[in-house]
Amino acid sequence: MALDLQKLAISEIRARLLKDDGPVSPQLLNALKRDARRGVRDLYTLAKRRADRAREERARLDAMLNFERVLWKSGVKYIAGVDEVGVGPLAGPVVAAAVVFAPDTSIDGVDDSKRLDPERRRELADRIRDSALGIGIGAATVEEIDRLNVYQAGLLAMRRAVEALPLPPQHVLVDARTIPGVAAPQNPFTKGDGINFSIAAASIVAKTHRDRLMEECDPQYPEYGFARHKGYSTPEHQAAIRRYGPCPLHRVSYPFIRELRGQYSPLFYELQALLARARTAKQLDAVERRFKTCSEELGEHEARKLKLVLSRRWKAL
């Protein structure tokens, strides 16, 4: 945009600003600021906000890329960020992704996939796939989750994702754990999908891939609504399990599945109903005393669940 704004009508300046969604240059900001017209002053305020947001995004990405840049400068070229998704759902596989970028790659908007809405995740997943040197996808099946437990299945999925890369990584950055069976040096980051660029990119790719898998399963099991909740424990999903029982996609080793199917003890459901009806501290205290007197009659998962609900109910009073 020409900096001689005096020759442009306010509507023309506004149209050009709206058309150009890129960063606002300091020269343009200064020109807008110097223009005495009230309408242009309003546009300056909008442009300043956009410039501030762009500067904040650059600072955020710089922080997220800090570890990669240290490795790149040391001569390590192929760095894989690895993350998995799908630990929490009641159904479907655990999916992991490994992503390798060329040195100095940066993509605006990359963040923990949980902080992004579905449309933004899909958009960023496409940009990541276009920019990455290599992407590997790994999964652990429902059968493996039930046999191994979901934590071990997540590690298996991440190892498979690294092995699926088209080029061997020289270094691996992982969200909160170390992957067994991977020869390259590794660095685990607590909540890495929110603080590390490569891990965040992997979380986006893994999430969009798993969502697509669950959507593809929906026509086979339409009564469960997998396309909507992706296997997570929503009220709709819980109601479907109570009504229809589990399908082959459900993780039947999960205690909550047994609870929803009515396979816990009658005492558990009795105490659960009493807890649901308790509205006062006196009523809650009575339920807690009954729970303590008969807790040995409950299974381990039953007692743990009721203790958790009791704690939350006390905090809510």
List binding-site positions.
83-84, 175
User: How far is 210 from 139, CA to CA, in rounded Å?
Assistant: 9
Contacts of 162 (CB under 8 A, 6+ apart): 80, 82, 98, 136, 138, 169, 172, 179, 182, 184
Q: Binding site membership for a divalent metal cation: which residues?
A: 83-84, 175
Q: Tokens representing 232?
A: 């997570």
The side-by-side arrangement of strands in the sheet containing 79-85 is: 134-140, 94-100, 79-85, 171-175, 186-189
Strand spans (E) along the chain: 79-85, 94-100, 134-140, 171-175, 186-189
Between CA 18 and CA 206, with CA 63 as vertex, the angle to 5 degrees is 80
- DSSP-derived secondary structure letter, 280: S
Q: How far apart are CA 173 and CA 158, in angstroms?
A: 11
- Give the residue among 119, 157, 136 at the shortest CA–CA distance from 201: 136
* Secondary structure of 115-162 in HEC code, one letter for each residue: HCCHHHHHHHHHHHHHHCCEEEEEEECHHHHHHHCHHHHHHHHHHHHH
Residue type, 246: P
